[in-house]
């Protein structure tokens, strides 16, 4: 049994990840503490450091948080770009950058991206661009990890459980059940793979 | 003959791009005006807007500027990450975002990335991550461009002309002549392709 910090546990993607972490001790964290063990803001180095110190020993971090703004490229402002960059991209880099100081030997980080960098749709240019950045980041940073630490990303298509919200934006996409996405997180946490983008698509 | 704005004309990559732009009217711009027609800071929306307004009519923008910080992942600070993100990533997104308001119908943008997102080396995680972001950006944003405007990136390996500077960092890499990289810029500016990452490797 591993101790796993799940960031974004309240969200639909967090709940999907949780379905794959059943054999572990899961410590939950979220932007609001609401129902979670800890509150954390991934855009803040200080907030992340506080979380990792307070948890103490942990073997894995699974992140499902990444705030994205949606607009046409023409209408997306610099501020909207930066909200997305600072959360989905730099926030996730922060998790690995700071977390590597605290995580146990042979620990793992699993980040979240999303299919829109491979299957573009309107309004999602910032989401897609930052997903591309994080998928690249995990492929490259894996070679630098000390002490057997691993880094992967899960890049899922839309969840069946979120189809009522996103379905209209995503014509021709086939949603997948949360439990299938949970398997991807399980494969990252319990496998030996590193530097991998685990695609979950139908 | 097209009017092409070449940003970063003073650099080695700018000179490489220039070898492929021989049949066009090239207007040069750089961080310092030193030898260039215009001075521009791609991290500033205001500076870019001023450049595009002053040039007036143009058919293509070729960018070869992207400031990157180099350090091990463990030692790279948030400030170093942000320098790289704001220049190589957001600066290039700015060029397209603002430039699309001014560029002629059927114009083109050609951005610069670099081979290290595909062939990682030590110290280059921020360079690689932002190259991955921009390669993804051009693949996705191309679908949104109005008036027949095209967007591509050139992703070259190390230039023969820069091998004395970078060679020690890049064991096992085969440098390519600037004129070959110039061909990639020419293919982007004079072709009909869009949403493409033009890889130049040996």
Residues counted in chain A: 202
| Pairing between β-strand A150-156 and β-strand B3-7 as defined by DSSP bridges | unpaired
Q: In this predicted model, what pLDDT tens digit does every residue of A117-175 receive, in sequence order?
A: 999 999 999 999 999 999 999 999 999 999 999 999 999 999 999 999 999 999 999 99
- Does B49 lie at the interface with A, CB-CB under 8 angstroms? no
pLDDT, residue A34, reads 84
| Chain segment B168-196, per-residue pLDDT in tens | 999 999 999 999 999 999 999 999 999 99
Burial B84-111 (b: 16+ CB within 10 A, else e): bbbbbbbbbbbbbbbbbebbeeebbbbb
CB B25 within 8 A of CB B1: yes
Nearest to A150 by CA among A199, A94, A102, A100: A100
Report the residue of chain A nearest B122, measured CA to CA.
Answer: A144
Task: Give A-chain residues touching B137 at CB under 8 angstroms.
Answer: 125, 128-129, 132
Q: In the prediction, which pLDDT does B168 show?
A: 95
Q: List B residues 62-91 in contact with A (Cβ-Cβ < 8 A).
A: 72-74, 76, 78, 81-82, 85, 89-90
Q: Where in chain B are the domains? A: 3-200
Whole-number pLDDT of residue B33: 82
Query: Whole-angstrom Cα distance, residue B49 to residue A121?
Result: 28
ipTM over 0.95: yes
Tens digits of residue pLDDT in B52-99:
999 999 999 999 999 999 999 999 999 999 999 999 999 999 999 999
How does residue B34 score in pLDDT terms, banded at 50, 70 and 90? Answer: confident
Residue B100 clears pLDDT 90, i.e. is over it: yes
Calpha distance B48→B46 (Å, rounded): 5
CB contact A187 to B (< 8 Å): no
Q: How far is residue A138 from each of residues A112, A118, A172, B140, measured CA to CA in Å?
A: 11, 16, 29, 20
Q: Do A131 and B136 touch (CB under 8 A)?
A: yes
User: What confidence score (pLDDT) does residue B62 get?
Assistant: 98
CA distance A124 to B11: 33
Mutate to test the interface with A, among B137, B139, B197 (most CBs of A within 10 A): B137
Classify the phi-psi angles of A184: left when phi > 0, otherwise alpha if psi is within -120 to 50, otherwise beta: alpha
> What's residue A12's pLDDT?
96
pLDDT in tens, A66-114: 999 999 999 999 999 999 999 999 999 999 999 999 999 999 999 999 9
Q: What is the arithmetic mean of pLDDT over A174-195?
A: 98
Question: Could you tell me which of A53, A11, A33, A25 has the C-alpha nearest to residue A156?
Answer: A11
What is the topology classification, in CATH, of domain B3-200?
Rossmann fold (3.40.50)
Residue A33 has pLDDT above 90, yes or no: no
Sign of CA dihedral B79, A123, A61, A29: positive
Tens-place pLDDT, residues B105-161: 999 999 999 999 999 999 999 999 999 999 999 999 999 999 999 999 999 999 999
Written as six digits, the tokens of A161 are 């459980």
């Amino acid at each position: 049994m591993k101790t796993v910090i799940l960031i974004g546990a309240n969200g639909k993607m967090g709940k999907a990840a949780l379905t794959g972490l059943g054999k572990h001790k899961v410590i939950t964290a979220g932007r609001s503490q609401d129902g979670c063990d800890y509150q954390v803001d991934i855009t803040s180095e200080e907030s992340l450091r506080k979380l990792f110190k307070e948890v103490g020993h942990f073997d894995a971090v699974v992140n499902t948080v990444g705030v994205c703004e949606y607009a046409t490229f023409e209408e997306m402002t610099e501020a909207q770009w930066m909200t997305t960059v600072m959360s989905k991209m730099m926030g996730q880099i922060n998790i690995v950058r700071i977390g590597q100081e605290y995580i146990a030997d042979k620990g793992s980080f699993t980040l979240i991206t999303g299919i829109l960098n491979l299957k573009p749709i309107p309004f999602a240019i910032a989401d897609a661009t930052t997903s591309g950045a994080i998928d690249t980041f995990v492929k490259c940073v894996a070679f630098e990890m000390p002490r057997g630490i691993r880094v992967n990303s899960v890049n899922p298509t839309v969840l069946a459980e979120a189809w009522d919200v996103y379905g209209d934006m995503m014509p021709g996409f086939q949603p997948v059940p949360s439990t299938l996405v949970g398997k991807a997180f399980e494969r990252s946490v319990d496998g030996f793979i590193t530097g991998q983008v685990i695609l979950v698509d139908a």
